[in-house]
Amino acid sequence: ARDGLQQLLDKGGKQGAQAAHYLGKFLLDDGLSGEAALAYQQGLALAGLNRDERARLSNGLGVASLQQGAFGKGRWQFEVAVAAAPDEPDYRANLALGWLMEGNKVAARQAFEPLLHYQNLPPRVEMNYVLLLLAEGNEPQARLILSRFLSASQLEHDIRLLKAQLGRGTGA
């Protein structure tokens, strides 16, 4: 499947952006963030991208960048994605995560603020919000959100894990 996607991406054309998106996702799922970044960059270099395609590929490149530890580059890509699609909760939550990984809790909160008025958010977006709450020292609210998804024992395990990841990611 990857070879077929790479061929579509290499051809460019109308399916090139979609091929770059799926190829990047597959590579990220396999832990190959460097190769995923290259696929997203190749997609972003295609001529004639529409706003949604550019936002989707920028978001993917941002995720790949964060996974490589390039927090500033990742955050910048998320800013591009949010500028193109400001109502997309995943992009905005990723922007908040990018700010958080750079240690800027205020900017992370500002990026997340518009999402707090949404009725339903995807679980991944809520998990990013949990990280922000933990960084802000609001563990009770973080626990409340996580309790909707996890058993009590899993909740304790995940809170410890998230705190450890947060400490490593922000240099705290």
Residue type, 64: A
49 close to 57: Cβ distance less than 8 angstroms: yes
pTM: 0.86
Q: Look up residue 25 and give its two tokens.
A: 């996702």
User: 1-85: what fold?
Assistant: 1.25.40
Spell out the per-residue pLDDT of the chain, length 172, in tens. 788 999 989 998 889 999 999 999 999 999 999 999 999 999 999 999 999 999 999 999 999 999 999 999 999 999 999 999 999 999 999 999 999 989 899 999 999 999 988 888 898 899 889 989 999 999 999 999 888 888 888 888 888 887 887 776 543 3
Distance CA(153)–CA(157), nearest Å, equals: 6
Among all chains, which residue has been given the structure tokens 């905005």? 92
Q: Look up residue 2 and give its two tokens.
A: 């990857």
What is the per-residue DSSP string for the chain?
-HHHHHHHHHH-STTHHHHHHHHHHHHHHTT-HHHHHHHHHHHHTSTT--HHHHHHHHHHHHHHHHHTT-HHHHHHHHHHHHHH-TT-HHHHHHHHHHHHHTT-HHHHHHHHGGGGG-S---HHHHHHHHHHHHHTT-HHHHHHHHHTTS-HHHHHHHHHHHHHHHHHHTT-
Q: Give the number of other CB atoms < 10 A from CB of residue 110.
A: 13
29-74 pLDDT, tens digit each: 999 999 999 999 999 999 999 999 999 999 999 999 999 999 999 9
For the chain, the structural domain boundaries read 1-85, 88-172
